[in-house]
């Protein structure tokens, strides 16, 4: 018994929480997702190692979709606006998020970037994540699809070493296939490894340099855009409500 006031000794209580540690991020991601859905925006979270060819694929995509569909991008990097500048040169309005030391983008960083006027009216929004094959897979951004770029130069066993990233992928772009003749790497072996970590493997082999295989990627994007086209698709992308 407590001697001062008779209230009883401090005691221990066990409190059941059972909540995802990232529930705050999940809520922000849900907000982004509702916003994308309301405005008919197809948002793609593009992930992959540094140097896996993410920006090169987007540059080619921006050129292919020029005049047909408004494409915009958010590019995450630890430092510099280089990727965003490259994308703008390729005709894609792009907003850089420099994360400093953070190894991934989270949903609230994406949300802040969405308020930038350069992204207004986009129908196809690429979120180019920080180059990293681990951390970005943990954070939902509100995207419709996760696409992972994996360069043939990264080796055949990367999917087996980084299963979390590939499990979260909806589509894998095996990039830089023009380099295959110079490497001791078999494209089929990469596919085989992907099949061991991705339950429903969807894989396109592409070269942003020669354009090989990009047609299938563009068709895939168009299919997803058609599935999303709605009556309010022309609304500006940043006009949305907060609760």
Binding residues for another protein, rule: CB under 8 A, are 7, 10-25, 102-104, 106, 134-135, 137-139, 163-165, 167, 195-200
H or E segment at 167?
Answer: helix 163-167
Q: How far is CA 37 from the centre of its chain?
A: 16
- Shortest Å, Cβ 42 to another protein: 24
CA dist., res. 70 & res. 50, Å (int): 26
State the DSSP string of 87-148.
HHHTT--EEEEE-TT-SS--HHHHHHHHTSGGGTT-SEEEEE--SBSSGGGG---S-SEEEE
Residue 76 CB-half CA count within 13 A? 31
- Going by their DSSP bridges, the two strands 42-48 and 71-77 should be labelled as unpaired
Q: Which is nearer to another protein, 56 or 174 (CB)?
A: 174
- Shortest Å, Cβ 216 to another protein: 21
Q: Which is nearer to another protein, 10 or 67 (CB)?
A: 10
- Shortest Å, Cβ 15 to another protein: 5
Q: Which is nearer to another protein, 137 or 172 (CB)?
A: 137
Q: Which is nearer to another protein, 139 or 204 (CB)?
A: 139
- Shortest Å, Cβ 50 to another protein: 15
């Amino acid at each position: 018994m407590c001697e001062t006031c008779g209230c009883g000794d401090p005691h221990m209580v066990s409190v059941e929480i059972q909540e995802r540690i990232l529930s705050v991020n999940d809520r922000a991601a849900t907000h982004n997702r509702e916003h994308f859905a309301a405005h008919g925006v197809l948002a793609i979270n593009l992930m992959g190692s540094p140097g896996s060819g993410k920006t090169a694929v987007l540059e080619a995509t921006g050129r292919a979709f020029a005049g047909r569909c408004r494409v915009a991008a958010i590019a995450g990097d630890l430092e510099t606006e280089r990727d965003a500048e490259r994308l703008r040169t390729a005709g894609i309005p792009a907003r850089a998020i420099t994360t400093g030391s953070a190894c991934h983008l989270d949903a609230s960083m994406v949300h802040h970037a969405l308020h930038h006027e350069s992204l207004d009216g986009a129908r196809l929004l690429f979120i180019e994540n920080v180059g990293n094959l681990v951390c970005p897979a943990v954070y939902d951004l509100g995207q419709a699809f996760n696409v992972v770029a994996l360069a043939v130069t990264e080796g055949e066993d990367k999917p087996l070493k980084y299963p979390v990233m590939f499990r979260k992928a909806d589509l894998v772009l095996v990039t830089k296939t023009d380099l295959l003749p110079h490497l001791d790497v078999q494209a089929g072996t990469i596919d085989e490894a992907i099949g061991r970590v991705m339950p429903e493997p969807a894989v396109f082999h592409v070269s942003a340099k020669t354009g090989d295989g990009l047609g299938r990627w563009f068709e895939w994007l168009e299919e997803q855009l058609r599935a999303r086209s709605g009556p309010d698709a022309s609304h500006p992308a940043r006009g949305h409500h907060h609760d």
